[in-house]
Structure 1
């Protein structure tokens, strides 16, 4: 029984799901002495994005530096870097930004969903004409 599917519609009343793009990692190639990440073609994915509470700061895989983080519930399985299994480093694109999956917080592989920690990336998505909103003290 997929309990998450049963409650997802109720969760969506408070925090609606959005559609994003998933760039699943295929590993890397060497360019001289540098590694360059390689990704599969993007696929559409349903996401439920939540802010990370200040009192719930997660120090995952050295991602505790000053940066923007979110918790994402996704239909499907996403992976942070797992060098032993040779997977991970997936990218998500939503709300005009790219986000790197740095840690799987919950995985429910038999139920088809997972909860991950993502960190905003500095690069701008292709074909994105929007500006990043900078909030300044007024």
Structure 2
């Protein structure tokens, strides 16, 4: 049996808000705010360009906010991106033989010991 798909399912992915397209509004339509609250966009007093044709910042333009440094955090320290390991948890448990809790020496470990052998004519040297 065949199914009928509408074309809207393909066009849905190309809507401007899904692609991240944006437009610059007319300056008369903008409401000017007098207070600078965190999380609100403020209109710049300077009307010069900040980026070049490729979207890169022009020389001399200070990068204010990014993913790791926001207006809410101090500008000299970025917030931690990854959680730090908990000192309470400790190291992973040792390999045991099932529920009996018998320690084994043949189960995989976190490191492998490789014995080096000298081969005549090889460019590598055996380091001990």
Return the TM-score normalized by structure 1.
0.21
Q: Which has the larger radius of gyration?
A: 2
Return the TM-score normalized by structure 2.
0.22
Name the structure where strand makes up a greater proportion of residues: 1
Flag the structure with more relative contact order, 1 or 2, with Cα contacts below 8 A and sequence separation at least 6. Answer: 1
